[in-house]
Amino acid sequence: MSDRFEVTFAPLSADPETVTALLAGEGLELGSKARELDTKSAGSVSKAAAAADFKGKYKSTIEILAPAKLGIDRLIVAGLGKDGALSAQQYVDLGGAILGAIQNRKTSTASLIVDVETSGDHSAEQIAALIGQGALLRHYNFKKYFTKKSGDDSAADKDGIKKLIVHVAHPDKAKAAFHPLKAVANGVNFARDLVNEPANVLGPVELAEKTKALEKLGVEVEILDVKAMEKLGMGSLLCVGQGSARPSRLAVMVWNGAKGSKKQKPVCFVGKGVVFDTGGISIKGAAGMEDMKGDMGGAAAVIGTMYALAERKANVNAVGLVGCVENMPSGNAVRPGDIVKSMSGQTIEVINTDAEGRLVLADVLWYAQETYKPKLVIDLATLTGAIMIALGKEYAGLFASDDKLADELLSASRSTGEKLWRMPLDKAFDKMMDSKNADVKNTGGRWGGAATAAAFLQRFVQKDVPWSHIDLAGTAMDGARNDINQSWGAGWGVRLLDRFVAGHYEKSEK
């Protein structure tokens, strides 16, 4: 995690660093401190803006070198757009864009002046905190395996910045507003680390063990080994890992944060944690197979979400469950045609060993429902190539058995910018999963691959449990880069699920 970078808050009166950014609204509307700097430097901001035709458009920037009399080497002016018109997420994105502009410069410390006199929904302190979150997210990188740390051209070198000081009228208030936002950024960056980590380092046991890092935040962690899963009858999950030299695990994270005397039913998050997917006996082609180290992106999203909820002490009961396996071909591997028995009692004919994620989820979903009697279940999985064909790298696919749950997720999606597009569940897809030799088979043929995968999963969801499935094969790894994500492993879904919980399953009074 990029914990070598921090965001702190200081009063407007504090001296700015030699690299300083300030904000300008549309029409070059400046706040009090920015006006002061402009005046002191004989109008350097207004002159540079005029020369560069800078009008304060949202996220546009100009850079002024060595403005007179300020003791500042580089003054970056970032556009806010129309006064008060930005959403919370747009401030977060702006924070990412500003950090990007600062990172182009070699400096270990930079200042950002947030002196906006807002008429919108957000106070200057909230804006400062949101921008700070964007900076934390933008700063993330995965460079632990570079051994050369210096030299301008080294890919390892571009993280000179260690500290962003945000200057704002009431730094204490900004710090308080920043606390939960930082927790969420930490959860996202934790998830990114898991996705980026190669599979030789992060096997199923190691992935499961990573959840123990959440214990320090008050999360109860339980890890089930192969023996325990055998006892539970998880023949579906276990058949996926049986070809690997490294044993499977099921990690369970319990956060009991709901206040009040009555024990509330938890929301359950289930993640596909295939640490590497070779396809098994139905082996994949060589091209791009290295990307299959990210086939635990669903698990990472679940772990990162639990991290965020616990660190910000969310007023909710939540359980995260991740099935950790490796899909390998070997003399012990499951074969096409094999029939396995799932924990639910249903038998499954394995047609294609590369459709392994659903086999893992079948048992984890069942276990989650039997054990926790949840209010709802959401599973996240890099489940199908077909969802990428349908939706590309910007959208994840949303399948939901319950319209209210779907709408809540879509609303969280709109406010975080982690885009979801609803896909169909249909009896016709379900029928395609009927097997000639067992209760169900694990592939549904060539067409509608994401929808038949969802139909398979639904067979392992109990009648009255609202359930939704998010297929993030396109977004969890090598997704579209943006202002707040420059990483191959995006940590996609953490902000979405955190917002989903905050918006619909937490009482606002803390």
The angle, 0 to 180 degrees and rounded to 10, between the axes of the packed helices 32-40 and 44-52 is 90
Out of 49, 300, 386, 502, the only residue in the binding site for ligand BES (CB under 6 A) is 386
Catalytic choice (358, 441, 495, 499): 358
Residue with tokens 């997720």: 409
Distance CA 419, CA 97 (A): 19
* Beta carbon nearer to Mn ion, 16 or 297: 297
Residues 6+ apart with CB under 8 A from 121: 84
Of residues 290-319, which lie at the interface with Zn ion (CB under 5 A)?
295
Strand 376-381: give its sheet, edge to edge.
220-224, 249-256, 317-327, 267-277, 376-381, 467-471, 395-400, 419-422
Residue with tokens 């088979």: 441
Smallest separation (angstroms) from Mn ion to the CB of 467? 22
Q: For the window 271-290, what string marks contact with Mn ion as x by the rule CB under 5 A?
A: ------x-------------
- Contact by Cβ (8 Å): 461, 399: no
Interaction of residue 352 with ligand BES, rule CB under 6 A: yes
* Beta carbon nearer to Mn ion, 350 or 390: 350
- Contact by Cβ (8 Å): 157, 149: yes
The piece of 154-162, 257-265, 349-357, 389-397 that touches Mn ion (CB under 5 A) is: 349-357
Interaction of residue 187 with ligand BES, rule CB under 6 A: no
| Total binding residues toward ligand BES, as defined by CB under 6 A | 14
* Beta carbon nearer to ligand BES, 178 or 456: 456
What are the CA-CA distances from residue 71 to residues 19, 20, 34, 164, 342 (Å)?
10, 10, 14, 18, 69
Q: What angle do CA 221, 360, 497 make, to 5 degrees?
A: 55
Interaction of residue 120 with ligand BES, rule CB under 6 A: no
Of residues 294-313, which lie at the interface with ligand BES (CB under 6 A)?
295
The piece of 18-26, 177-185, 355-363, 410-418 that touches ligand BES (CB under 6 A) is: 355-363
For the purposes of burial, counting CB atoms within 10 Å of the CB of 482, is it exposed (0-12), middle (13-18) or buried (19 or more)?
A: middle
Residue with tokens 């969280």: 412
Interaction of residue 326 with Mn ion, rule CB under 5 A: no
Residue with tokens 């956060």: 255
The piece of 6-14, 377-385, 393-401, 485-493 that touches ligand BES (CB under 6 A) is: 377-385
Out of 420, 473, 496, 501, the only residue in the binding site for ligand BES (CB under 6 A) is 473
Active site residue 74: no
Of residues 260-299, which lie at the interface with ligand BES (CB under 6 A)?
277, 295
User: What is the number of the residue whose Cβ is closest to Zn ion?
Assistant: 277
Task: List contacts with ligand BES (CB under 6 A).
Answer: 277, 295, 352, 354-357, 382, 384-386, 443, 449, 473
Which residues here bind Mn ion, judged by CB under 5 A? 277, 354, 356
What positions carry a catalytic annotation?
284, 358
